[in-house]
Amino acid sequence: MNLKTLLSKETIALHLKGTTKDAIISELLDVLVSGGKITDRTSALNAIMERENKMSTGMKHGIGIPHGKTSTVSDLVACIGISDAPVDFDSLDGEPCRIFIMTLSPLEKTGPHLQFLAEISLLFKSSEKRAEILKAASAEEVLKILAE
């Protein structure tokens, strides 16, 4: 599983406008729809919110990872969104988030989903990497940072 191969400039959104968890999730779903990654937005939203209602996907260090499993995708799909302003995401550390990684995976495939989440957590442990992502001026720059 390689985060860099799952993402493209079409699945990276800078300057998210949402100011709430629900607004951010909606905006990220729009990125996946416009990027051609999902066709059934309602089912995808239901999967994300079902997971979110079990336990918040707001992690530490300003990162939110809304994710879910759904029959509307045949392979793992992902997008990244970056907000200029911190957003309350019910994070484990109580801090707001600015970096959001959304992923949806098929119901019957657990391996890629877990591998992806593990790779994200490793990648964003670095405070330098997080700072670079937050300063990125373009989707291409985000991809370059992720490839380093």
Q: How far apart are CA 135 and CA 141, in angstroms?
A: 9
Is 61 an active-site residue? no
Q: Which of 15, 61, 67, 113 is catalytic?
A: 67
Q: Looking at the chain, list the stretches that DSSP marks H as alpha helix, in order from N- to C-terminal side.
A: 3-6, 21-34, 41-54, 111-123, 127-135, 139-147
Beta strands 77-87; 67-69: pairing state: unpaired
Q: Check: CB of residue 83 under 8 Å from CB of residue 24.
A: yes
What phi and psi values does residue 121 have, to the nearest 5 degrees?
A: -65, -35
Length of the chain: 148
DSSP assignment letter at 20: S
Active site residues: 67
